[in-house]
Chain A
Amino acid sequence: MQNLPFQPEQASSIARSVDQLYYFLTAITLFFTAVIFLVIFYFMIKYRRRSPDERPRAIEGSFPLEVLWTVIPTVIVALIFVWSSVLYFRNSEAPKGSMEIFVTGRQWMWKVEHPEGQREINELHVPLGRPVKLTMTSEDVIHDFFVPAFRVKKDVLPGRYTSLWFSATKVGTFHLFCAQYCGAFHAGMIGSIIVQQPEEYERWLAGGAPGESMEQAGAKVFQASGCPTCHLADGTGLGPSLLGLYGQPVKLTTGETVTADDAYMRESILLPKAKIVLGYSPIMPSFQGQMTEEQLNNVVAYLRALGKAQAKPKEAGKQ
């Protein structure tokens, strides 16, 4: 990298479009700053006081001018608003078929877990050209996952999942920063995103610690925590069946319908009484404090897999 660059690398599919808006805004800023400065300088010289008794005539103002310089900025900001919001919304949700990776932030490191079970600390290997969706949570305070080269950033909150996605377009190593102040070594909570050619990435995956996949690890936690005692696969248990549940709508005792997404799974494990599935009693104990964030992520990964396993048999809570 040069010593004095003026643009961060463009290494993701959205970087170019964000930069285009950025340049447009820069142009607007430079243009109006220049206009104001030049006009002021011109007036300063042209209308400088020539004699101490000078008394210029009063000018009340000009309604047409006021309208003009109300309308022009309004039109410009409306344009920017539409442009940037469209861009933001288009980028706000991960494309279908994204690779899913879990990220856990804690004071002061990033823990990453690939679905295949590879774990990394302060590093994230991703393949080139493949959309990657990060599901993120924090073990303590609020952090923020920021990759300048990708133009993506999202706070990582305790007690909740947030997510962001990107698709890398350049092979190389890029900065990962924590961009939300998180305590003493906030500045040290940095890492690298390593973008590799897909084959190379596969090799890295295979060569990494052979450990179990997240799904397998999750299955173990699931067993060890006694979940299957109540959550019988055929739906006859004390708790609803979890087969084929993931991503499906669930009817609650309150009459509401929610989607069994990551956030719902997480909440149901930690605060089982918050949302009771229609036809069941609020008897499940909370697993708050009994599972680490990592174990929780693993269980959610397992539940995802269960959810896609097969269409469910008869089950309460299904519309």
Chain B
Amino acid sequence: MSTATLEPRVHAQRNYLNDDYGWKSWLFTLDHKRIALLYLVSITFFFVIGGSFAVLMRIHLVEPGGALVQPETYNKLFTLHGIVMIFFFLIPSIPAVLGNFLVPLMVGARDLAFPRLNLLSWYIYIVGGLFTLYSAIAGGVDTGWTFYTPYSSTYSNTQVTAVAIGVFITGFSSILTGLNFIVTIHKMRAPGLTWFRMPLFLWAMYATSIIMVLGTPVLAITIFLLALEHLFHVGIFSPALGGDPLLFQHLFWFYSHPAVYIMILPAMGVVSEIIACFARKRIFGYKIVAFSSVAIAVLGFLVWGHHMFVTGQSVYAGLIFSLLSFLVAIPSAIKVFNWTSTLYKGSISYEAPMLYALGFIGLFTMGGLTGLFLASLATDVHLNGTYFIVAHFHYIMVGGAVMGYLGGIHFWWPKISGRKYPNGWAALAAAIIFIGFNLTFFPQFILGYLGMPRRYAFYPAEFQVLNVMSSAGATVLGVGYLIPLVYLIWSMRYGPIAEPNPWGATGLEWKTSSPPPTENFAEIPVVTEEAYAYAPEEAAGD
């Protein structure tokens, strides 16, 4: 066991939250836990913005002719919804909030390797966010979050430059976070914490960081070239001057496909922690699950061309990308099987985090399997660019990443805030979100197969029934998201005080007090056992 000593102080003990007061103590903090909270507040803000765009879109689509706004406005809504949700919510969500908070605690360190870089990355994120908000206020942008040329570079007369700068800048925030995690995991593990004793969340964060570090710079340079093309019309992506618009798509997806794994891998890490804790079992096939994260990170870089099967890309390149896309499905499948097997002969309890984790498994399974339709060339030709795509990636990004994020927030909330939330409300919210999500997005699979293209501000009347169903589901989903927002804020003041380890979980973060002191551990812990040592003593270790 760890040597971290805990005095049984409960209430007025010194912790990272009451260590210092005033806005300066937050805005100039170098404490990874406080920076995590800065991120938590900012990404929640962007989630609300992106979410309200989604709500407006779903209301608009209740009528075939469009119920709410002009087509131009609708185009700006889905563009900003995509940009805000992807670059300013999903990509930083688990890494920058939970990762920032937990990586040093889990490795048994006092902070990340580079606390100043960490704070810098939050400021970079905020500056990027301000550019994006500015572009939204100053008329919006209507290129779609994919910025396809030559529409974005030559034909769109909206705020392309401002939003390109915003995304470009935010990319560096992501790079710095990834760099910090890699160095921390390599160099700052507590004595005895070998690679194969690490919690799977750390493995997931490590794999995610690899993608952030290797992929994001390519997005940055691509967006930079796009901005140059937009400002100067040098011709690099413009066919009128001999450029090739498909080159933009190659460079864009080189990052933006792996970016999907930046969103889903951390959620997988969270789910591994939760399942192990609430089944009181070591994750079935720990090493396989760990390696599959790395395999996904590496293979995920080789499949970007499946976004381009119908764009006039070479059919032979399409063939290779199709094959590799199928291969990346395998490690994901392995993870699902292993999580399911972890439940076998476990001792399962149904606290709210576990409900989110189980919901994740179900929705991710559907999202992953519907990905096969799109990796397969012949069916992708029909489904590409339709609502089937929209449904598929929302199952991965919302059903997967957001469920994982919410599960993680609920799991570690007692650690983060030192308070407990009402479990009944949390379980109810989890159920409403699960149902609302399926109501919203399942009809979209059918819509896509029937042929309704995405990004349509108005549509033929025959698609109305399914669109209305989807919009109805979205209201349920929206309510579902509001509930945790209310009771989590409520719990910060009125929730019962949380003990250091309310779930009886393993892992170094539970060995310190809740909330942890600024220096995390009174004494650097020494690790002497495997991760997830939930079993009785005689069976533990091997």
Instruction: Please determine whether A62 and B285 come into contact, CB atoms closer than 8 angstroms.
Output: yes
Which of chain A's residues 50-93 have a Cβ closer than 8 Å to chain B? 50, 54-62, 65-66, 69-70, 73-74, 77-78, 80-81, 83-85, 87-89, 91-92
B282–A60 CB distance below 8 A: yes
Contact partner, B382, options A69, A78, A83, A153, Cβ 8 Å = A153
- Residue pair A59, B284 in contact (C-beta under 8 Å): yes
CB-CB under 8 A for A157 and B456, given A47-B347, A54-B280, A61-B285: no
Q: Do residues A47 and B71 form an inter-chain contact, with CB atoms below 8 A?
A: no
Check: B240 CB closer than 8 A to any chain A CB: yes
* A80 pairs with B372, CB closer than 8 A: yes
Question: In this assembly, does B239 line the interface, its C-beta being within 8 Å of a C-beta of chain A?
Answer: yes
Q: A58 touching B315 by the CB < 8 A rule?
A: no
For chain A residues 192-242, which have a beta carbon within 8 Å of chain B?
A: none
Closest approach, in angstroms, between the C-beta of B6 and any C-beta of chain A? 21
B379, CB-defined interface residue at 8 Å: yes
Q: Report how far A239 CA is from B322 CA in the complex, Å.
A: 43
A43 close to B344 (CB less than 8 A): yes
Q: Which residues of B contact A148 (CB under 8 A)?
A: 382, 386, 450-451
Q: Is A101 an interface residue (CB 8 A)?
A: no
Q: Does A316 contact B (CB under 8 A)?
A: no
A273 to B96, CA, bound (A): 52
CB pair B385–A153 under 8 Å, yes or no, is: yes
Chain B positions 192 through 213: 1 when the CB is less than 8 Å from some CB of chain A, otherwise 0: 0000000000000000000000
Verify A40–B358 contact, CB threshold 8 A.
Answer: yes
Contacting residues, chain A, for B345 (C-beta < 8 A) = 47, 56-57, 59
- In the complex, A50 Cα to B280 Cα: how many Å? 13
A54 and B451 contacting across the interface, CB-CB below 8 Å: no
B489 at the interface (CB under 8 A from A): no
User: Max chain B CB contacts within 10 Å: which of A54, A55, A162?
Assistant: A55
Contact B348 A48 (CB under 8 A): yes
A153-B381, A181-B144 are known contacts. Are A48 and B349 too (CB-CB below 8 A)?
Answer: yes
Asked if A157 meets B245 with Cβ closer than 8 Å, knowing A8-B451, A29-B366, A179-B386, the reply is yes
> Please, which residues of chain A bring their CB within 8 A of the CB of B376?
21, 25, 80-81, 83-84
A283 located at the interface, meaning its Cβ lies under 8 Å from any Cβ of chain B in the complex: no
Is B540 in contact with chain A by the CB < 8 A criterion? yes
Q: Which of A18, A84, A152, A177 contacts B453 (CB 8 A)?
A: A177
Is the pair B358, A158 in contact by a Cβ cutoff of 8 Å? no
**What chain A residues lie within 8 Å of B536 (beta carbons)?**
55, 57
Interface size band for B:
35 or more
A311 at the B interface (CB under 8 A): no
For chain B, residues 523 to 542, give those with C-beta under 8 angstroms from any C-beta of chain A.
533-536, 539-540, 542
* B218 close to A (CB within 8 Å): no
Interface residues of B in 341-360 (CB under 8 A from A): 341, 343-350, 358
- Please state if A58 and B451 are interface contacts (CB–CB under 8 Å): no
Contact partner of B155 among A32, A154, A183, CB < 8 A?
A183
Cross-chain contact B348 with A44 (CB below 8 angstroms)? yes
Q: How far is the CA of A25 from the CA of B340 in the complex (A)?
A: 22
Cα A81 to Cα B344 in complex, Å, equals 33
**Number of A residues, CB within 8 Å of B:** 87
A182 at interface by CB-CB < 8 Å:
yes
Closest residue on chain A to residue B466 by CB atoms: A4
In whole angstroms, what is the CA distance A140 to B240 when docked? 9
Q: Mark A90-127, 1 if CB is under 8 A from B, else 0.
A: 01100000000000000100000000000000000000
Tell me what chain A mostly uses at the interface: helix, strand, loop, or mixed. Answer: mixed
Chain A residues near B123 (CB, 8 Å)? none
Known: A54-B280, A59-B284, A177-B453. A39 touches B330 (CB 8 A): no
Q: Which one of A43, A55, A89, A159 lies within 8 Å of B280 (CB-CB)?
A: A55
Q: Are B337 and A54 in contact (CB under 8 A)?
A: no
A69-B333, A77-B372, A146-B451 known; A187-B457 Cβ under 8 A: yes
CA distance A3 to B449 in the complex (A): 15
Instruction: For B285, give its contact among A5, A37, A66, A80 (CB under 8 Å).
Output: A66
B453 engages A178 (CB within 8 Å): yes
Collect the chain A residues with CB atoms within 8 Å of residue B323's CB: 81
B326 touches A77 (CB 8 A): yes
Chain A residues contacting B280 (CB-CB under 8 Å) are 49, 54-56
Measured between alpha carbons, how far is A5 from B533 in the docked complex, in Å? 52
Q: Are A18 and B326 in contact (CB under 8 A)?
A: no
For A294, the chain B residues whose CB sits under 8 A away are none
CB <8 Å contact, B315 and A89: yes
Indicate if the CB atoms of B451 and A177 lie closer than 8 Å: yes
Interface residue A33 (Cβ < 8 Å from any Cβ of B): yes
How many angstroms from the CA of A73 to the CA of B333 in the assembled complex?
7
Q: Which of B488-542 contact A (CB under 8 A)?
A: 533-536, 539-540, 542
Residue-wise, chain B 214-241 has the 8 Å CB interface mask toward A (1 for contact) of: 0000000000000000000000000110
10 residue pairs from A and B, CB less than 8 Å apart: A47-B344, A55-B536, A56-B280, A59-B345, A61-B341, A66-B285, A74-B330, A140-B155, A154-B310, A187-B71
Beyond A55-B536, A61-B341, A142-B150, 17 additional contacts (C-beta under 8 Å) are A5-B450, A5-B462, A28-B372, A56-B535, A58-B534, A80-B376, A83-B376, A84-B378, A89-B315, A89-B319, A153-B382, A154-B310, A160-B312, A175-B451, A181-B146, A184-B75, A190-B460
Closest 7 CB pairs of A and B: A148-B451, A159-B239, A61-B285, A179-B385, A58-B535, A88-B377, A84-B376
User: Hey, which bits of chain A sit against chain B, CB under 8 A?
Assistant: 1, 3-8, 17-18, 21-22, 25, 28-29, 32-33, 36-37, 39-40, 43-44, 47-50, 54-62, 65-66, 69-70, 73-74, 77-78, 80-81, 83-85, 87-89, 91-92, 107, 140-142, 144, 146, 148-149, 151-155, 157-160, 162, 175, 177-188, 190, 271, 288
* Chain B residues packing against A (C-beta within 8 Å): 71-72, 75, 142-144, 146, 148, 150-151, 154-156, 239-240, 242, 245-246, 279-282, 284-288, 310-312, 315, 318-319, 322-323, 326-327, 329-330, 333-334, 336-338, 340-341, 343-350, 358, 361-362, 365-366, 369-370, 372-373, 375-379, 381-382, 384-386, 446, 449-451, 453-460, 462, 465-466, 533-536, 539-540, 542
